Amino acid sequence: MLRLYNTLSNTEEDFHPIEEGAVKFYACGPTVYNYAHIGNFRTFAFKDLLCKYLRYGGYRVTQVMNITDVDDKTIQNARAQGMTLKDYTAKYTEAFLADCKTLRIDPPDIMPRATEHIDEMVALIKTLDAKGFTYRKDGSVYFDIAKFQGYGKLSKADFSGAQTGVRVDADQYDKANSRDFVLWKAPKEGEDFWETEIGPGRPGWHIECSAMSMKYLGETFDIHVGGIDLVFPHHENEIAQSECATGKPFVRYWVHPEFLVVGGDKMSKSLGNISTLRDLLAEGHTPEAVRYLLLSVHYRKQLNFTTDGLRAAQASLQRLEDFVLRAKEKKRSSDGSEAAPSGDFAAEVSAARAKFREAMDADINASAALAAVFDFVHYAYQKDGRGEFGAGEAGAALAFVEEVDSVFCILRAQPELLDEEIAAQIEARQAARKRRDFAEADRIRQWLLDQGIQLEDTREGVRWKRM
Ligand code: AMP
Ligand code: ZN
């Protein structure tokens, strides 16, 4: 049974979706005003891990992640670059999706863009208007936080003393500045705006997520993920808008990953301490090592990013990849018949699998889950050292590691050799034999075997087949 820490209750809770076997899942997507940094990707890698583990557990997951392509920051930056908002945000949306692909973060099932959902936002604001939760000032529409009893229930802040009628127009602000927040912003000189039934203007950031999540997942859905900095005001405001409009609970489980930090400071553009995925790849790190690092620390603990940490992640991953190669080699050494592992080895695999699941069920304790895998690898190498790691053991070990990797996606896919590459190797082997360099010929044969290519010497010449 999966348990998740719910920010709403401040406790770890058993996970029960509304509909048995199905999970309705929303993640706040990127604000596409620049390249995302690896702090952002910690949050996105986590929501990917959570989705993959839910799917591994047999759930049908509908994942929605929005693209914030209109807000204060996107408008400001597009103007500074002399670009239209559309062209500007298209560029960074594309970059974001490309980076996600590199990091093997699955695309969401539905990816709504804010600018394509203005009608839904207007409709939601009209509902809030009709129910008396809003007021207007200078062409903008504000949410009156004093009208919602539950305001503060997510961030656990006490707003009872908040001054009524004091407003905030910015999308981002802190608790000390809690105010009536803006739902719809009156047009400003040089800013993009839409002509709508509630007047000309553009949406506030918070209403975007309420409108898009409820459109695709319904008025109440299961899981909502976003970085810890989104608890206040973004998610607090999403709850206020959504629950006041529908009269129903908005989200059942609020899940908030902690920050990736650099020497104690949150990685953020404004502090100038960011690394992008592109920076790290240019320095020679692999996407898998970055992904491994982002996932290897429990999501509710801060992850302190250092180059040494990234190197250590690469080394751990290498150990796992070496093991997979060794197991593949052993598996191939069988005569093709399905060998079974010994009883004690099979029991060890089952125990490792149980530990892996137990750790993941305990609020996605990824570090403990990975530790279970590495302990198992250690055991398998010991067996190998004693000559007790045959094709059957190798097969069972591989199946387990591949199962884990279907959730973590950290092992590099081994590219298949092309036919021409194989032909070139065979030619090199023939040449080695001709000059009676049998050691080299054997080395090439073994190398090809390691890549899954088996050679057969026949009277007509060398034949090969993929295994
Ligand atoms: P943004 O594009 O600024 O809206 O941020 C996208 C996501 O990244 C949000 O869920 C943020 O909470 C998250 N985020 C921003 N900075 C960090 C960080 N240093 N560590 C982890 N997550 C972060
Ligand atoms: Zn959001």
Go through the chain and tell me how many residues it has.
Answer: 467
pLDDT classification of 336: cutoffs 50, 70, 90? low
449/324 same-domain check? no
The Cβ of residue 46 has, within 10 Å, a number of other Cβ atoms equal to 25
Separation CA 291–CA 346 (nearest Å): 30
- Structural domain contains residue 269: no
Angle between helices 287-296 and 366-385 (to 10 degrees): 120
> Would you say the CB of residue 266 lies under 6 angstroms from ligand 1?
yes
Structural domain harbouring 437: 420-466
- Determine the 3-state secondary structure of 65 from DSSP: strand
Domain boundary among 198, 227, 257: 257
Q: Ligand 1 pocket check: which of 7, 40, 67, 92 to mutate, most ligand atoms within 8 Å of Cβ?
A: 40
Residue 193 DSSP one-character state:
-
Q: Residue 379 belongs to a domain with what CATH number?
A: 1.10.730.10
227/291 same-domain check? no
Q: Which two tokens stand for residue 430?
A: 């023939």
- Structural domain contains residue 156: yes
Rounded mean pLDDT of 443-467? Answer: 85
pLDDT tens for 222-237 read 999 999 999 999 999 9
309/453 same-domain check? no
- Structural domain contains residue 367: yes
Does 333 score more than 90 pLDDT?
A: no
Separation CA 198–CA 177 (nearest Å): 27
Total tally of structural domains belonging to the chain? 3
**Closest by CA position to 124, among listed 184, 50, 44:** 184
446/404 same-domain check? no
Separation CA 83–CA 278 (nearest Å): 23
- Structural domain contains residue 414: no
- Structural domain contains residue 271: no
217/324 same-domain check? no
- Structural domain contains residue 349: yes
Instruction: Classify each residue of 426-436 as buried b or exposed e, where b means 16 or more C-beta atoms within 10 Å of its C-beta.
Output: beebeebeeee
CB-based contact 106:62 (threshold 8 Å): no
- Structural domain contains residue 199: yes
Longest dimension (CA), the chain: 93
**Closest by CA position to 253, among listed 49, 3, 42:** 3
Residues having C-beta closer than 5 Å to ion ligand 2:
28, 209
Residue 466 DSSP one-character state:
E
Which residue's CA is the closest to the ligand 1 atom numbered 9? Answer: 227
201/348 same-domain check? no
Does 13 score more than 80 pLDDT?
A: yes
Closest ligand 1 atom number to CA of residue 225: 10
224/292 same-domain check? no
Rounded mean pLDDT of 333-347? Answer: 83
Domain boundary among 371, 388, 408: 408
> Would you say the CB of residue 275 lies under 6 angstroms from ligand 1?
no
Over pLDDT 70: what percentage of the chain? 99
115/228 same-domain check? yes
Give the pTM.
Answer: 0.90
Does 161 score more than 80 pLDDT?
A: no
Rounded mean pLDDT of 145-152? Answer: 94
pLDDT number for residue 337: 61
> Would you say the CB of residue 229 lies under 6 angstroms from ligand 1?
yes
pLDDT number for residue 335: 59
317/400 same-domain check? yes
Does 417 score more than 80 pLDDT?
A: no
- Determine the 3-state secondary structure of 321 from DSSP: helix
- Find out whether the peptide bond into 341 is cis, omega within 30 degrees of 0: no
> Would you say the CB of residue 268 lies under 6 angstroms from ligand 1?
yes
Ligand nearest to the CA of 224: 2
Ligand nearest to the CA of 225: 1
Q: Residue 94 belongs to a domain with what CATH number?
A: 3.40.50.620
CB-based contact 279:30 (threshold 8 Å): no
pLDDT number for residue 160: 74
